Structure 1
Amino acid sequence: MNELDDAELEDLYAWIDQIPLSRPKRNIARDFSDGVLIAEVIRHYMPKLVELHNYTPANASKQKMENWYLLNRKVFCKLHFELTDDVIRSICRCEPNIIERVLYMLRVKIDRALWEASKNRSRRNSLSNEKPEVDQEYNSPRRGPNDFTVKRPGPSQGVKGAGAVVTQTDYVPRAVYEEKEQECLAKEETIQILQAQNPPIRAFASFKRHSN
Protein backbone atom coordinates (compact mmCIF):
# COMPACT_ATOMS: atom_id res chain seq x y z
CA MET A 1 0.00 0.00 0.00
CA ASN A 2 1.35 3.40 -0.97
CA GLU A 3 1.82 6.29 1.43
CA LEU A 4 -1.20 8.59 1.72
CA ASP A 5 -0.85 12.30 1.02
CA ASP A 6 -2.17 15.01 3.34
CA ALA A 7 -5.48 15.39 1.49
CA GLU A 8 -6.16 11.65 1.63
CA LEU A 9 -5.31 11.54 5.34
CA GLU A 10 -7.60 14.46 6.15
CA ASP A 11 -10.43 12.82 4.22
CA LEU A 12 -9.78 9.52 6.00
CA TYR A 13 -9.81 11.13 9.47
CA ALA A 14 -13.05 12.94 8.62
CA TRP A 15 -14.57 9.59 7.60
CA ILE A 16 -13.53 8.00 10.92
CA ASP A 17 -14.91 10.95 12.90
CA GLN A 18 -18.37 10.31 11.46
CA ILE A 19 -18.49 6.84 13.04
CA PRO A 20 -19.55 6.48 16.70
CA LEU A 21 -16.84 4.42 18.42
CA SER A 22 -16.74 2.94 21.90
CA ARG A 23 -13.67 4.93 23.00
CA PRO A 24 -12.24 8.34 22.11
CA LYS A 25 -9.57 8.65 19.44
CA ARG A 26 -6.36 10.12 20.80
CA ASN A 27 -3.61 8.29 18.93
CA ILE A 28 -4.93 6.46 15.89
CA ALA A 29 -2.07 3.94 15.74
CA ARG A 30 -2.52 2.95 19.37
CA ASP A 31 -6.32 3.23 19.47
CA PHE A 32 -6.77 0.84 16.52
CA SER A 33 -3.93 -1.54 17.37
CA ASP A 34 -6.08 -4.26 18.96
CA GLY A 35 -8.57 -4.45 16.09
CA VAL A 36 -11.63 -3.66 18.21
CA LEU A 37 -12.29 -0.25 16.66
CA ILE A 38 -11.78 -1.72 13.20
CA ALA A 39 -14.55 -4.22 14.01
CA GLU A 40 -16.76 -1.33 15.16
CA VAL A 41 -16.11 0.60 11.93
CA ILE A 42 -17.17 -2.38 9.83
CA ARG A 43 -20.20 -3.07 11.99
CA HIS A 44 -21.32 0.56 11.60
CA TYR A 45 -21.67 0.08 7.86
CA MET A 46 -22.35 -3.66 7.67
CA PRO A 47 -23.98 -4.80 10.93
CA LYS A 48 -24.48 -8.41 9.87
CA LEU A 49 -20.82 -8.90 9.06
CA VAL A 50 -19.33 -8.44 12.54
CA GLU A 51 -20.12 -9.78 16.02
CA LEU A 52 -18.40 -7.35 18.37
CA HIS A 53 -18.37 -9.68 21.38
CA ASN A 54 -15.76 -11.80 19.59
CA TYR A 55 -13.17 -9.02 19.84
CA THR A 56 -11.57 -8.30 23.22
CA PRO A 57 -9.87 -4.96 24.01
CA ALA A 58 -6.22 -5.73 24.68
CA ASN A 59 -2.80 -4.29 25.44
CA ALA A 60 -0.87 -7.55 25.05
CA SER A 61 0.40 -8.31 21.58
CA LYS A 62 -0.87 -11.90 21.66
CA GLN A 63 -4.51 -10.91 22.18
CA LYS A 64 -4.22 -8.09 19.66
CA MET A 65 -2.99 -10.49 17.02
CA GLU A 66 -5.75 -12.98 17.80
CA ASN A 67 -8.30 -10.22 17.17
CA TRP A 68 -6.71 -9.41 13.82
CA TYR A 69 -6.46 -13.04 12.77
CA LEU A 70 -10.16 -13.44 13.60
CA LEU A 71 -10.94 -10.38 11.49
CA ASN A 72 -8.97 -11.95 8.64
CA ARG A 73 -10.90 -15.24 8.87
CA LYS A 74 -14.38 -13.96 9.58
CA VAL A 75 -14.64 -10.50 8.05
CA PHE A 76 -11.89 -9.38 5.70
CA CYS A 77 -12.26 -12.46 3.50
CA LYS A 78 -15.88 -11.48 2.83
CA LEU A 79 -14.65 -8.08 1.71
CA HIS A 80 -12.11 -9.78 -0.57
CA PHE A 81 -8.83 -8.89 1.11
CA GLU A 82 -6.51 -10.21 3.81
CA LEU A 83 -3.75 -8.71 5.94
CA THR A 84 -0.37 -10.40 6.03
CA ASP A 85 1.35 -11.41 9.25
CA ASP A 86 3.90 -8.62 8.82
CA VAL A 87 1.19 -5.98 8.53
CA ILE A 88 -0.66 -7.37 11.56
CA ARG A 89 2.53 -7.32 13.66
CA SER A 90 3.24 -3.75 12.57
CA ILE A 91 -0.28 -2.68 13.57
CA CYS A 92 -0.01 -4.39 16.96
CA ARG A 93 3.33 -2.61 17.58
CA CYS A 94 1.63 0.72 16.74
CA GLU A 95 4.06 1.51 13.96
CA PRO A 96 3.25 4.86 12.33
CA ASN A 97 1.37 5.21 9.02
CA ILE A 98 0.34 1.53 8.90
CA ILE A 99 -3.18 1.65 10.33
CA GLU A 100 -4.01 4.65 8.10
CA ARG A 101 -3.25 2.65 4.97
CA VAL A 102 -5.25 -0.32 6.29
CA LEU A 103 -8.19 1.98 7.06
CA TYR A 104 -7.95 3.56 3.63
CA MET A 105 -8.08 0.14 1.95
CA LEU A 106 -10.90 -0.95 4.27
CA ARG A 107 -12.91 2.13 3.33
CA VAL A 108 -12.54 1.30 -0.37
CA LYS A 109 -13.70 -2.28 0.25
CA ILE A 110 -16.68 -1.16 2.34
CA ASP A 111 -17.74 1.40 -0.26
CA ARG A 112 -17.50 -1.25 -2.97
CA ALA A 113 -19.54 -3.77 -0.96
CA LEU A 114 -22.24 -1.19 -0.18
CA TRP A 115 -22.43 -0.15 -3.83
CA GLU A 116 -22.84 -3.76 -4.98
CA ALA A 117 -25.52 -4.41 -2.34
CA SER A 118 -27.42 -1.30 -3.44
CA LYS A 119 -27.17 -2.35 -7.09
CA ASN A 120 -28.51 -5.84 -6.30
CA ARG A 121 -31.43 -4.39 -4.32
CA SER A 122 -32.31 -2.08 -7.20
CA ARG A 123 -32.22 -5.00 -9.63
CA ARG A 124 -34.49 -7.13 -7.40
CA ASN A 125 -36.93 -4.24 -6.94
CA SER A 126 -36.98 -3.62 -10.67
CA LEU A 127 -37.76 -7.27 -11.40
CA SER A 128 -40.47 -7.45 -8.74
CA ASN A 129 -42.18 -4.31 -10.11
CA GLU A 130 -42.19 -5.50 -13.70
CA LYS A 131 -45.58 -6.54 -15.12
CA PRO A 132 -45.97 -8.90 -18.06
CA GLU A 133 -46.63 -7.20 -21.36
CA VAL A 134 -50.13 -7.69 -22.75
CA ASP A 135 -50.73 -8.87 -26.28
CA GLN A 136 -53.48 -6.53 -27.40
CA GLU A 137 -54.72 -8.95 -30.04
CA TYR A 138 -55.55 -11.70 -27.56
CA ASN A 139 -55.56 -9.75 -24.29
CA SER A 140 -53.18 -12.21 -22.66
CA PRO A 141 -49.51 -12.10 -21.57
CA ARG A 142 -47.17 -11.63 -24.51
CA ARG A 143 -45.53 -14.88 -25.41
CA GLY A 144 -41.79 -15.37 -25.25
CA PRO A 145 -39.48 -16.45 -28.06
CA ASN A 146 -40.03 -20.14 -27.29
CA ASP A 147 -43.85 -19.98 -27.13
CA PHE A 148 -46.30 -19.75 -30.00
CA THR A 149 -50.00 -20.03 -30.82
CA VAL A 150 -51.59 -23.19 -32.12
CA LYS A 151 -54.91 -22.48 -33.89
CA ARG A 152 -57.98 -24.63 -33.46
CA PRO A 153 -58.88 -26.16 -36.83
CA GLY A 154 -62.11 -25.01 -38.38
CA PRO A 155 -64.91 -27.31 -39.64
CA SER A 156 -63.17 -27.82 -42.98
CA GLN A 157 -59.73 -28.44 -41.53
CA GLY A 158 -58.44 -31.88 -40.67
CA VAL A 159 -56.09 -32.74 -37.84
CA LYS A 160 -53.05 -34.74 -38.84
CA GLY A 161 -51.77 -37.18 -36.25
CA ALA A 162 -52.97 -37.69 -32.71
CA GLY A 163 -51.86 -34.33 -31.27
CA ALA A 164 -54.15 -32.38 -28.98
CA VAL A 165 -56.08 -29.42 -30.38
CA VAL A 166 -55.31 -26.13 -28.65
CA THR A 167 -57.55 -23.07 -28.73
CA GLN A 168 -56.35 -20.07 -30.65
CA THR A 169 -55.59 -18.04 -27.55
CA ASP A 170 -53.52 -20.71 -25.81
CA TYR A 171 -49.73 -20.56 -25.87
CA VAL A 172 -47.70 -23.72 -25.93
CA PRO A 173 -44.05 -23.90 -24.84
CA ARG A 174 -41.93 -25.01 -27.77
CA ALA A 175 -40.47 -27.94 -25.83
CA VAL A 176 -43.98 -29.28 -25.10
CA TYR A 177 -45.02 -28.85 -28.73
CA GLU A 178 -41.95 -30.65 -30.02
CA GLU A 179 -42.53 -33.52 -27.59
CA LYS A 180 -46.12 -33.89 -28.80
CA GLU A 181 -44.99 -33.68 -32.41
CA GLN A 182 -42.53 -36.54 -31.86
CA GLU A 183 -45.31 -38.61 -30.30
CA CYS A 184 -47.49 -37.99 -33.37
CA LEU A 185 -44.72 -38.99 -35.75
CA ALA A 186 -44.07 -42.17 -33.78
CA LYS A 187 -47.76 -43.09 -33.87
CA GLU A 188 -48.01 -42.40 -37.59
CA GLU A 189 -44.97 -44.58 -38.23
CA THR A 190 -46.55 -47.38 -36.20
CA ILE A 191 -49.76 -47.07 -38.22
CA GLN A 192 -47.81 -47.27 -41.49
CA ILE A 193 -45.98 -50.40 -40.33
CA LEU A 194 -49.28 -52.07 -39.33
CA GLN A 195 -50.85 -51.16 -42.67
CA ALA A 196 -47.89 -52.67 -44.53
CA GLN A 197 -48.22 -55.92 -42.55
CA ASN A 198 -52.03 -56.11 -42.94
CA PRO A 199 -53.16 -54.88 -46.40
CA PRO A 200 -56.64 -53.33 -46.50
CA ILE A 201 -59.58 -55.65 -47.21
CA ARG A 202 -60.40 -53.72 -50.39
CA ALA A 203 -57.04 -54.52 -51.94
CA PHE A 204 -57.38 -58.19 -50.96
CA ALA A 205 -60.82 -58.50 -52.65
CA SER A 206 -59.45 -56.95 -55.82
CA PHE A 207 -56.71 -59.57 -55.90
CA LYS A 208 -59.28 -62.41 -55.69
CA ARG A 209 -61.31 -61.02 -58.61
CA HIS A 210 -58.19 -60.78 -60.72
CA SER A 211 -57.29 -64.40 -59.91
CA ASN A 212 -60.71 -65.64 -61.00
Structure 2
Amino acid sequence: MGDIGEDMLEDLYSWVDTIPLSRPKRDLKRDFADGVLVAEVVKHFCPRLVELHNYSPANCMDNKLRNWSLLNRKVFKKLEFEIADDVVKNIVESRPWAVEHFLMMLRRKIDRYVFEQKRTKHRPQDGTKNSEKPEVDQDMKGLIIIYDDMSNSPSCCRKDMGGDVEKVGDSYSQTSLKAAMVPKVLVEEKEQELLVKEETIQILQAKVRRLEHLVHLKDVRIDDLQVKLDQLEKQLKPAMKATKR
Protein backbone atom coordinates (compact mmCIF):
# COMPACT_ATOMS: atom_id res chain seq x y z
CA MET A 1 0.00 0.00 0.00
CA GLY A 2 3.01 2.28 0.17
CA ASP A 3 2.22 5.17 2.51
CA ILE A 4 -1.56 4.63 2.40
CA GLY A 5 -2.97 3.25 5.62
CA GLU A 6 -5.78 0.74 5.77
CA ASP A 7 -8.13 3.28 7.39
CA MET A 8 -7.36 5.80 4.65
CA LEU A 9 -8.13 3.20 2.00
CA GLU A 10 -11.42 2.27 3.67
CA ASP A 11 -12.34 5.95 3.81
CA LEU A 12 -11.45 6.42 0.15
CA TYR A 13 -13.40 3.34 -0.99
CA SER A 14 -16.44 4.44 1.03
CA TRP A 15 -16.24 7.89 -0.58
CA VAL A 16 -16.13 6.35 -4.07
CA ASP A 17 -19.09 4.12 -3.17
CA THR A 18 -21.23 7.21 -2.46
CA ILE A 19 -20.77 8.47 -6.05
CA PRO A 20 -23.17 7.16 -8.73
CA LEU A 21 -21.01 5.95 -11.61
CA SER A 22 -21.98 4.61 -15.03
CA ARG A 23 -20.02 1.37 -14.60
CA PRO A 24 -19.97 -1.08 -11.70
CA LYS A 25 -16.73 -1.01 -9.73
CA ARG A 26 -14.80 -4.29 -9.90
CA ASP A 27 -11.11 -3.40 -9.78
CA LEU A 28 -10.38 0.24 -8.96
CA LYS A 29 -7.05 0.44 -10.79
CA ARG A 30 -8.66 -0.85 -14.01
CA ASP A 31 -12.03 0.89 -13.59
CA PHE A 32 -10.40 4.35 -13.54
CA ALA A 33 -7.61 3.65 -16.04
CA ASP A 34 -9.29 5.32 -19.03
CA GLY A 35 -10.25 8.48 -17.11
CA VAL A 36 -13.98 8.24 -17.81
CA LEU A 37 -14.99 7.53 -14.23
CA VAL A 38 -12.65 10.29 -13.07
CA ALA A 39 -14.62 12.72 -15.21
CA GLU A 40 -17.85 11.37 -13.66
CA VAL A 41 -16.48 11.88 -10.14
CA VAL A 42 -15.66 15.53 -10.85
CA LYS A 43 -19.02 15.98 -12.61
CA HIS A 44 -20.84 14.70 -9.52
CA PHE A 45 -19.36 17.39 -7.26
CA CYS A 46 -18.61 20.15 -9.80
CA PRO A 47 -21.18 19.79 -12.62
CA ARG A 48 -20.04 22.91 -14.50
CA LEU A 49 -16.45 21.75 -14.91
CA VAL A 50 -17.03 18.62 -16.98
CA GLU A 51 -18.78 17.72 -20.23
CA LEU A 52 -19.03 13.95 -20.10
CA HIS A 53 -19.64 13.50 -23.82
CA ASN A 54 -15.98 14.43 -24.39
CA TYR A 55 -14.79 11.26 -22.65
CA SER A 56 -15.24 7.83 -24.23
CA PRO A 57 -14.53 4.41 -22.67
CA ALA A 58 -11.23 3.13 -24.02
CA ASN A 59 -9.16 -0.02 -24.07
CA CYS A 60 -6.18 1.04 -26.18
CA MET A 61 -3.41 3.13 -24.65
CA ASP A 62 -3.73 6.09 -27.06
CA ASN A 63 -7.41 6.68 -26.32
CA LYS A 64 -6.85 6.39 -22.58
CA LEU A 65 -4.06 8.97 -22.79
CA ARG A 66 -6.32 11.23 -24.84
CA ASN A 67 -8.94 11.23 -22.09
CA TRP A 68 -6.36 12.05 -19.44
CA SER A 69 -4.82 14.79 -21.54
CA LEU A 70 -8.28 16.35 -21.91
CA LEU A 71 -8.86 16.08 -18.17
CA ASN A 72 -5.56 17.84 -17.51
CA ARG A 73 -6.34 20.70 -19.89
CA LYS A 74 -10.08 21.14 -19.38
CA VAL A 75 -10.80 20.04 -15.82
CA PHE A 76 -7.80 19.73 -13.52
CA LYS A 77 -6.56 23.24 -14.36
CA LYS A 78 -9.86 24.63 -13.07
CA LEU A 79 -9.25 22.71 -9.85
CA GLU A 80 -5.80 24.36 -9.77
CA PHE A 81 -3.61 21.32 -10.37
CA GLU A 82 -2.21 19.10 -13.12
CA ILE A 83 -0.82 15.57 -12.98
CA ALA A 84 2.52 14.65 -14.51
CA ASP A 85 2.92 12.33 -17.48
CA ASP A 86 4.55 9.60 -15.40
CA VAL A 87 1.58 9.63 -12.98
CA VAL A 88 -0.83 9.35 -15.90
CA LYS A 89 1.21 6.48 -17.32
CA ASN A 90 1.10 4.61 -14.01
CA ILE A 91 -2.67 5.01 -13.80
CA VAL A 92 -3.27 4.05 -17.44
CA GLU A 93 -1.09 0.96 -17.01
CA SER A 94 -3.05 0.03 -13.85
CA ARG A 95 0.02 0.09 -11.61
CA PRO A 96 -0.76 -0.86 -7.97
CA TRP A 97 -1.94 2.03 -5.77
CA ALA A 98 -1.43 4.66 -8.48
CA VAL A 99 -5.13 5.44 -8.84
CA GLU A 100 -5.67 5.39 -5.05
CA HIS A 101 -3.01 8.05 -4.54
CA PHE A 102 -4.53 10.12 -7.34
CA LEU A 103 -8.11 9.82 -6.04
CA MET A 104 -7.07 10.91 -2.56
CA MET A 105 -5.45 14.02 -4.01
CA LEU A 106 -8.43 14.63 -6.32
CA ARG A 107 -10.81 14.42 -3.37
CA ARG A 108 -8.88 17.14 -1.50
CA LYS A 109 -8.87 19.39 -4.57
CA ILE A 110 -12.62 18.91 -5.10
CA ASP A 111 -13.38 19.67 -1.43
CA ARG A 112 -11.27 22.83 -1.63
CA TYR A 113 -12.90 23.94 -4.88
CA VAL A 114 -16.44 23.40 -3.52
CA PHE A 115 -15.55 25.30 -0.33
CA GLU A 116 -14.11 28.25 -2.29
CA GLN A 117 -17.16 28.34 -4.55
CA LYS A 118 -19.45 28.57 -1.52
CA ARG A 119 -17.33 31.35 -0.03
CA THR A 120 -17.36 33.29 -3.31
CA LYS A 121 -21.13 32.84 -3.63
CA HIS A 122 -21.77 34.50 -0.27
CA ARG A 123 -19.37 37.39 -0.73
CA PRO A 124 -20.74 40.86 -1.64
CA GLN A 125 -20.52 41.60 -5.35
CA ASP A 126 -19.95 45.37 -5.04
CA GLY A 127 -16.16 45.06 -5.07
CA THR A 128 -15.68 46.53 -1.61
CA LYS A 129 -12.88 45.37 0.63
CA ASN A 130 -15.14 44.87 3.62
CA SER A 131 -16.44 41.47 2.58
CA GLU A 132 -15.27 39.88 5.81
CA LYS A 133 -16.80 42.50 8.11
CA PRO A 134 -19.85 41.36 10.06
CA GLU A 135 -23.30 42.60 9.24
CA VAL A 136 -24.41 44.76 12.17
CA ASP A 137 -27.98 45.64 13.02
CA GLN A 138 -28.89 49.28 12.37
CA ASP A 139 -29.44 49.89 16.09
CA MET A 140 -25.94 48.58 16.80
CA LYS A 141 -24.23 51.12 14.51
CA GLY A 142 -22.16 53.69 16.31
CA LEU A 143 -21.71 51.51 19.37
CA ILE A 144 -18.27 51.43 20.92
CA ILE A 145 -16.90 49.31 23.75
CA ILE A 146 -15.56 50.94 26.91
CA TYR A 147 -13.84 48.84 29.56
CA ASP A 148 -14.41 49.74 33.17
CA ASP A 149 -11.09 50.56 34.85
CA MET A 150 -11.97 48.60 37.96
CA SER A 151 -13.78 45.52 36.66
CA ASN A 152 -12.27 45.42 33.16
CA SER A 153 -15.76 44.57 31.88
CA PRO A 154 -17.11 46.04 28.62
CA SER A 155 -19.97 48.52 28.46
CA CYS A 156 -21.99 49.47 25.36
CA CYS A 157 -21.79 53.15 24.53
CA ARG A 158 -22.61 55.37 21.54
CA LYS A 159 -21.02 58.56 20.25
CA ASP A 160 -23.42 61.40 19.51
CA MET A 161 -23.00 64.02 16.78
CA GLY A 162 -20.87 66.18 19.05
CA GLY A 163 -18.46 63.38 19.82
CA ASP A 164 -19.70 62.84 23.37
CA VAL A 165 -20.06 59.30 24.59
CA GLU A 166 -23.45 58.16 25.81
CA LYS A 167 -23.79 54.89 27.73
CA VAL A 168 -26.48 52.67 26.24
CA GLY A 169 -27.17 50.75 29.44
CA ASP A 170 -28.34 47.14 29.42
CA SER A 171 -30.37 47.24 26.21
CA TYR A 172 -27.67 45.15 24.47
CA SER A 173 -26.25 42.13 26.21
CA GLN A 174 -22.59 41.18 25.94
CA THR A 175 -23.61 38.01 24.11
CA SER A 176 -25.59 39.95 21.50
CA LEU A 177 -22.69 42.32 20.94
CA LYS A 178 -20.24 39.46 20.41
CA ALA A 179 -22.66 37.72 18.06
CA ALA A 180 -22.88 40.84 15.91
CA MET A 181 -19.09 41.04 15.69
CA VAL A 182 -18.48 37.49 14.35
CA PRO A 183 -16.88 37.72 10.87
CA LYS A 184 -18.78 35.99 8.11
CA VAL A 185 -15.67 34.07 7.06
CA LEU A 186 -15.65 32.30 10.43
CA VAL A 187 -19.27 31.29 9.93
CA GLU A 188 -18.43 29.90 6.48
CA GLU A 189 -15.47 27.95 7.90
CA LYS A 190 -17.70 26.45 10.58
CA GLU A 191 -20.24 25.49 7.91
CA GLN A 192 -17.46 23.76 5.96
CA GLU A 193 -16.37 21.90 9.10
CA LEU A 194 -19.97 20.83 9.59
CA LEU A 195 -20.17 19.53 6.01
CA VAL A 196 -16.94 17.56 6.52
CA LYS A 197 -18.30 16.05 9.75
CA GLU A 198 -21.58 15.16 8.06
CA GLU A 199 -19.64 13.47 5.26
CA THR A 200 -17.59 11.58 7.88
CA ILE A 201 -20.80 10.42 9.52
CA GLN A 202 -22.12 9.19 6.17
CA ILE A 203 -18.84 7.32 5.55
CA LEU A 204 -19.01 5.71 8.99
CA GLN A 205 -22.62 4.73 8.40
CA ALA A 206 -21.60 3.15 5.09
CA LYS A 207 -18.87 1.22 6.92
CA VAL A 208 -21.39 0.00 9.49
CA ARG A 209 -23.72 -1.18 6.72
CA ARG A 210 -20.83 -2.96 5.01
CA LEU A 211 -19.78 -4.67 8.24
CA GLU A 212 -23.37 -5.70 8.95
CA HIS A 213 -23.52 -7.19 5.45
CA LEU A 214 -20.26 -9.09 6.05
CA VAL A 215 -21.58 -10.40 9.37
CA HIS A 216 -24.75 -11.54 7.64
CA LEU A 217 -22.74 -13.34 4.95
CA LYS A 218 -20.64 -15.05 7.60
CA ASP A 219 -23.78 -16.13 9.48
CA VAL A 220 -25.18 -17.60 6.27
CA ARG A 221 -21.88 -19.38 5.66
CA ILE A 222 -21.83 -20.76 9.21
CA ASP A 223 -25.41 -22.03 8.85
CA ASP A 224 -24.50 -23.67 5.55
CA LEU A 225 -21.47 -25.39 7.06
CA GLN A 226 -23.53 -26.53 10.03
CA VAL A 227 -26.09 -28.14 7.71
CA LYS A 228 -23.30 -29.92 5.81
CA LEU A 229 -21.78 -31.06 9.11
CA ASP A 230 -25.11 -32.49 10.28
CA GLN A 231 -25.54 -34.31 6.99
CA LEU A 232 -22.01 -35.71 7.22
CA GLU A 233 -22.62 -36.94 10.76
CA LYS A 234 -25.80 -38.74 9.64
CA GLN A 235 -23.87 -40.40 6.83
CA LEU A 236 -21.07 -41.49 9.17
CA LYS A 237 -23.27 -42.87 11.96
CA PRO A 238 -24.04 -46.24 10.21
CA ALA A 239 -20.39 -46.72 9.36
CA MET A 240 -19.36 -45.97 12.96
CA LYS A 241 -21.91 -48.46 14.32
CA ALA A 242 -20.69 -51.14 11.91
CA THR A 243 -17.12 -50.51 13.02
CA LYS A 244 -18.04 -50.95 16.68
CA ARG A 245 -19.69 -54.33 15.92
User: TM (normalized to structure 1)?
Assistant: 0.58
Cα deviations by residue, 1:72-114 (Å, 9 ceiling, x for unpaired): 0001011111111111111111111000000000000000011
Preserved CA contact (<8 Å) 1:79 1:113: yes
Bigger-Rg structure (1/2) = 1
Give distance in 2, aligned partners of 1:52 and 1:58.
14
Q: Deviation of residue 131 (structure 1)? A: 9.2
Q: Are 1:3 and 1:101, in contact at CA under 8 Å, matched by a contact in 2? A: no
Q: Aligned-pair distance for 1:121?
A: 1.8
Secondary structure in structure 2 of the residue aligned to 1:100: helix
Which stretch has the larger CA shift, 83-92 or 19-28?
83-92
- Report the equivalent of 1:109: 109
Partner AA of 2:110 in structure 1: I
Partner Cα distance (1:96, 1:63) in 2: 21
Conservation of the 8 A alpha-carbon contact between 1:34 and 1:65: yes
| Structure 2 unaligned blocks of 5 or more | 143-245
Task: Show the counterpart of 1:11.
Answer: 11
User: What SS is found at the alignment partner of 1:79?
Assistant: coil
Between the aligned partners of 1:12 and 1:65, the Cα distance in structure 2 is 24
Between the aligned partners of 1:14 and 1:124, the Cα distance in structure 2 is 37
| Shift in Å, 1:118 | 1.1
Report matched runs for 1:2-81 at 5 Å. Answer: 3-81=3-81
- Shift of residue 120, structure 1, vs aligned partner: 1.5
Give the equivalent residue in structure 2 for 1:92: 92
Q: Distance in 2 between matches of 1:66 and 1:124?
A: 40
Q: Distance between the aligned counterparts of 1:63 and 1:4, measured in 2?
A: 29
Cα distance in 2, alignment partners of residues 38 and 124 from structure 1: 34
Secondary structure at the aligned position of 2:124 is classed as helix
Amino acid of the structure 2 residue aligned with 1:22: S
Shift of 1:4: 1.4
CA distance in 1, matches of 2:84, 2:9: 23
C-alpha deviation, 1:58, in angstroms: 0.4
State the alpha-carbon separation in 1 of the partners of residues 136 and 4 from structure 2: 50
Q: Which amino acid aligns with 2:37?
A: L
Equivalence for 2:211: none
Residues in 2 aligned to 1:123 and 1:8: alpha-carbon distance in whole angstroms: 34
Q: Which residue of 2 aligns with 1:190?
A: none
Instruction: Tell me which residue corresponds to 1:184.
Output: none
Amino acid paired to 1:113: Y
Residue in structure 2 matched with residue 180 of structure 1 by the alignment = none
Q: What's 1:144 paired with? A: none
Structure 2 counterparts to residues 183-202 of structure 1, below 5 A: none
In structure 2, C-alpha distance between the alignment counterparts of 1:132 and 1:96, rounded to whole Å = 58
TM-score w.r.t. the length of structure 2 is: 0.51
- RMSD of the alignment, in Å? 2.5
Moved more, 100-109 or 113-122: 113-122
Aligned to 2:236: none
CA offsets per residue over residues 3-32 of structure 1, 9 Å max, x none? Answer: 311111110111000000000000000000
